[in-house]
Amino acid sequence: MERIIIDMDEVMADTMGAMMAWYISSYGIQPDYSRMKGSWMLGIPEEHKETVRKHLYSEGFFRHLPVMEGCVEVMEALNKKYEVFIVSAATEFPNSLRDKLEWLEEHFPFLTWRQLVLCGDKRMIAGDFMIDDHVRNLVHFKGKPYLYSTLLNKDETGYDRIRNWQEVADIFL
């Protein structure tokens, strides 16, 4: 059975959407999306960055993220056809570990705890396919990498892109 490695943040969960909604609600201003190449923080005024970081590291932030449209249904179908592992470089955000586990249990009850890998670096991950929004996680991957398109990686080249969960279904199902 072929193995698919799938990232959580910005692939399964709308992390940036949740953070930007919180930021706009908290400060009443729009971030500068045009400056966010590679990092949200580049679009946030300097005087707000520390508060934004604290929110990102806070308990519960990763627990209440919206699920990307179509993700649940496609993941359920993938799980029947492939060996699926959810791999998240989560240890940078210690509070996210429990949050991510509970989020997956709520939204993806068909996945087991054995299919979740919370790590700091994805270089040791092996599989046939990987879907991730960060090139740094794909560059060392030995299987077929797919870059999940986000605002932060819009200028990256050299990878087949996936724009949404319907495209995941079109490719793998």
Question: pLDDT truncated to tens, each residue of the chain (173 aa)?
Answer: 999 999 999 999 999 999 999 999 999 999 999 998 888 888 999 999 999 999 999 999 999 999 999 999 999 999 999 999 999 998 888 889 999 999 999 999 999 999 999 999 999 999 999 999 999 999 999 999 999 999 999 999 999 999 999 999 999 99
Domain ranges of the chain: 3-14+66-172, 15-63
Examine the residue annotation and report whether 155 is marked as an active-site residue of this protein. no
- Of 9, 14, 99, 133, the active-site residue reads 9
Report the alpha-carbon distance of residue 10 to residue 133 in Å, rounded: 7
| Cβ atoms of 138 and 147 closer than 8 Å | yes
- Residue in 122, 120, 151, 166 with CA at minimum distance from that of residue 16: 151
Considering the domain 3-14+66-172, what is its CATH architecture? 3-Layer(aba) Sandwich (3.40)
pTM here?
0.95
Report the alpha-carbon distance of residue 9 to residue 68 in Å, rounded: 10
- Of 7, 14, 132, 133, the active-site residue reads 7
Examine the residue annotation and report whether 99 is marked as an active-site residue of this protein. no
